[in-house]
Amino acid sequence: MITVALPKGALLSDTIKLFQSIGLDFSAFLDSKSRQLRITDPTNTAKALLVRAQDVPVYVEYGQAQLGIVGYDVLREKTPQVANLADLKFGYCRMSVAVRKSDSYRRSIELPPHGRVASKFVNCAKEYFNNLDLPVEIVPLYGSVELGPITEMSEAIVDLVSTGRTLKENGLIEIDILFESTARLIAHPLSYRLDLGNLHTYVEKLRQNTGDRVA
């Protein structure tokens, strides 16, 4: 029996629909009254863990789950030792640099050297500005990073953007995109290589339902 790590939050509903399309039902996690964190599919062929999105690759890397669904942004930030098998084509968003609309900056390279950039994606932000050869101070924030520029603690932020509504309502605009992110299917490398629990069959079914090929 395989175990799948499912992400809490925005990706959960589409993730459950995807597994339903291949005959695995984890919809019990959608019951707002339930506090279950591990369930078994009614066919008794697979289990699922409900975890924070950032923790999905951890459970897969350490082998507590053989498969997982996670955003590409998490994989870029954490660089876990997992097999990235497929782009699942849902959960689109982008990692962007944003500043106050009232500021003159319209490209990241225009930000002042040694200025501050607030982000919860510290590694992604560091990599991006290192590649620009622009020295900045990355300020780790794990709540509403939009407050960084609003309070003038930082000149910019690096954060995920979907519709852009939150930025607009707080007087911020995007000036650059680091990368685009969608949901990805990941696997424990050794389990996948050995095809434990018939993993290859599950992966191929999931790929067929998204029109994807090997990542």
Same domain, 82 and 127: no
> Is 215 within the bounds of a domain?
no
- Could you tell me the residue range of the domain that residue 15 belongs to? 2-91+182-208
Average pLDDT over residues 187-204: 96
Task: Report the share of the chain in percent with pLDDT over 70.
Answer: 98
Residue 139 has pLDDT above 50, yes or no: yes
Average pLDDT over residues 48-54: 97
Per-residue pLDDT reduced to its tens digit, 171-184 = 999 999 999 999 99
> Is 213 within the bounds of a domain?
no
Sequential DSSP letters for 61-129: HTTS-SEEEEEHHHHHHH--S-EEEEE-S-S-EEEEEEEETTSS--SGGGSPTT-EEEES-HHHHHHHH
Beta bridge partners of 7: 51
Same domain, 67 and 167: no
Specify the pLDDT at position 211.
55
CB burial readout 162-199, b (16+ within 10 A) else e: eeeeebeeeebbebbebeebbbbbbbbeebbeeeebeb
Residue 202 has pLDDT above 80, yes or no: yes
Per-residue pLDDT reduced to its tens digit, 157-172 = 999 999 999 999 999 9
